[in-house]
Structure 1
Amino acid sequence: MHTIRNQQIDTLRQVPLDVFEERMVKHLYEHFPQRSQKLGQRKVREDIRYSMERAKIYGIVTERDVCKYLNIVFAFHRDFDTDPELPWAGEILNNEELFSGKLKVDCLHETALKYVDE
């Protein structure tokens, strides 16, 4: 009988995150090439990890929703959610009537598109 140690379990949990992070790096370089190249791969990865933690605070946890959140981060900046110049972001993310991460990120995405078009 084989025993799996806690360290091995933690490593197995990390694999999907690493795969997701790699996909997001490629996605961001494809869709936000100037910003990604300016930041460099190390900083892009840092921003992905930081933004995933921020998104989690707001209940945004699925791959699809985190990807949309990252798009907004790269369209604005990593602390857009607390930026007084973008009050709509915090209002949406802290709106208790938007009870799911999907609703929040969809509303955020729609509003961000309108904001950029203005």
Structure 2
Amino acid sequence: MFRIAKEQLQALATTVEQSFINRTVHQLREDFPSEIEAHGLQGPALEALVHRGVADATAFGITQGDDVRLYIECMLVLSPRFSNDPQLPWATEILRREDLSGTAKMDLIHDHLVFGVGGEGVTRA
């Protein structure tokens, strides 16, 4: 029988996470150059933002790759601290909802940004 040591699993998870971060940084540089410049995220600062975005998204139950990437994009487009920005109470409300999956939360945020819906009082799951 073949066994994987705990350390090996941890190393694999770290490699997968770093690969996601590298791909996300590359994509953000291509898709959001003006936002990156506006926030002064040159060099390692952008990678640090992505690391923080992964951790923050995970804390809100957002774990699917596309959802995490959208969360990080919101950090660039809305505010690096959009999840608790007093100017964006609708985002905070959505992210704190425990009755929604991570995907449902990001769908509501996307709907709000694109269509102006999905904020307070929305019960879609």
TM over 0.5: yes
Q: Which residue does the alignment assign to 1:100?
A: 101
Query: Runs of 5+ in structure 1 lacking a partner?
Result: none
The answer as to whether partners of 1:72 and 1:112 remain within 8 angstroms in 2 is no
Distance between the aligned counterparts of 2:22 and 2:10, measured in 1? 18
* CA RMSD in angstroms, aligned pairs only: 2.2
| Amino acid paired to 1:43 | A
| Amino acid paired to 1:112 | L
Distance between the aligned counterparts of 1:69 and 1:80, measured in 2? 9
Percent of residue pairs bearing the same amino acid type: 29
Distance between the aligned counterparts of 1:60 and 1:7, measured in 2? 25
- Length-normalised TM-score, structure 1: 0.84
Q: CA deviation at 1:114?
A: 4.3
Q: Which residue does the alignment assign to 1:84?
A: 86
Cα shift readout 1:59-113 (whole Å, capped 9, x = no counterpart)? 100101101111111101221110111110011112234x210000010112123
Secondary structure of 1:24's aligned partner = helix
Higher relative contact order (CA 8 A, sep 6+): 1
In structure 2, do the counterparts of structure 1 residues 11 and 82 end up closer, same or farther at CA, with 3 Å as the change threshold?
Answer: same
Distance between the aligned counterparts of 1:106 and 1:50, measured in 2? 21
Q: Which residue does the alignment assign to 2:75?
A: 73
- Length-normalised TM-score, structure 2: 0.79
Distance between the aligned counterparts of 1:112 and 1:79, measured in 2? 16
- Structure with the larger helix share: 1
In structure 2, do the counterparts of structure 1 residues 14 and 96 end up closer, same or farther at CA, with 3 Å as the change threshold?
Answer: closer
The answer as to whether partners of 2:36 and 2:46 remain within 8 angstroms in 1 is yes
